[in-house]
Amino acid sequence: MKTSIDNLKVLIESLGEDWKTKLDMYLKNEDVDLDRKGKNSIEDFLQSCMEEIKDNKVSSLQRVEKKIDNDLLYKNLKKYLDEALWTFYAFAPLRALGAVNAQEACDIMEQVFNRSVLRFHPNIMQEYEKYHFDNGNAFIDFLNAQDGLCSYIIGKTMHYDAMLSFVHMQTRLPKELCKKLVDMVDGNFNELRLNYIIERLNSLCKYNDN
């Protein structure tokens, strides 16, 4: 994969002299006239930025900031990337624990999976310290991120290998933890799929009622 700065150069060439305006409009989800080449250049650039953030390549993003040379545009870029990487950030505490104690991190993941994803226990949201989270908000973010990750996997009916790749791509968890989560999803696939269908039907009923 090309670096973010390489992809930014391709983006500039593809979008022309108005590249900053077009990129900013895309980041803010505004209507912007882009051909396929232009849209692809933006998406490739953003994807490379996200990968470098996950890999903690700070210097690469500093070069991007210097090349953009526009505080507001870079602020909007950071906002877009932060929102896109919400799941990655939500898994940060578990990533940190997994790096020093993989078994404890696996145990926590299993407990949270059983009490939040597979079935729901309302008391879990008050038990953040038990699971090595600094505060309730960070723990709730993690619960929502893990639930969303599992729901996406179930909704796409992913193959086992695809699940492993997707979980690692989204979370950058150590391989042992990725396998633990995927094994739990795979082992409870039918029950999770039923939960997913019921949740989708409930959402559809609420939408129709409105």
Q: What is the 3-state secondary structure (H, E, C) of the chain?
A: CCCHHHHHHHHHHHHHHHHHHHHHHHHCCCCCCCCHHHHHHHHHHHHHHHHHHHCCCHHHHHHHHHHHCCHHHHHHHHHHHHHHCHHHHHCHHHHHHHHHCHHHHHHHHHHHHHHHHHCCCHHHHHCHHHHCCCCHHHHHHHHHHHHHHHHHHHHHCCCHHHHHHHHHHHHCCCHHHHHHHHHHHHHCHHHHHHHHHHHHHHHHHHHHHC
Domain ends where: 43, 64, 84? 84
Domain ends where: 22, 51, 84? 84
The pLDDT tens digits of the residues spanning 154-207 come to 999 999 999 999 999 999 999 999 999 999 999 999 999 998 888 788 777 766
The pLDDT tens digits of the residues spanning 51-95 come to 999 999 989 999 999 999 999 999 999 999 999 999 999 999 999
Question: Do 80 and 160 sit in the same domain of this protein?
Answer: no
Question: Do 47 and 139 sit in the same domain of this protein?
Answer: no
Question: Do 138 and 184 sit in the same domain of this protein?
Answer: yes
Question: Do 118 and 201 sit in the same domain of this protein?
Answer: yes
Residue 209 reports pLDDT greater than 70:
no
Residue 39 reports pLDDT greater than 90:
yes
Domain with 137, as residue range(s), is 89-209
Domain ends where: 23, 50, 84? 84
pLDDT band at 208 (very low <50, low <70, confident <90, very high): low
Residue 41 reports pLDDT greater than 80:
yes
Question: Do 9 and 53 sit in the same domain of this protein?
Answer: yes
Question: Do 67 and 140 sit in the same domain of this protein?
Answer: no
Question: Do 77 and 108 sit in the same domain of this protein?
Answer: no
Q: What average pLDDT does this structure show over 21-30?
A: 96
- For the chain, the domain total comes to 2
Question: Do 184 and 122 sit in the same domain of this protein?
Answer: yes
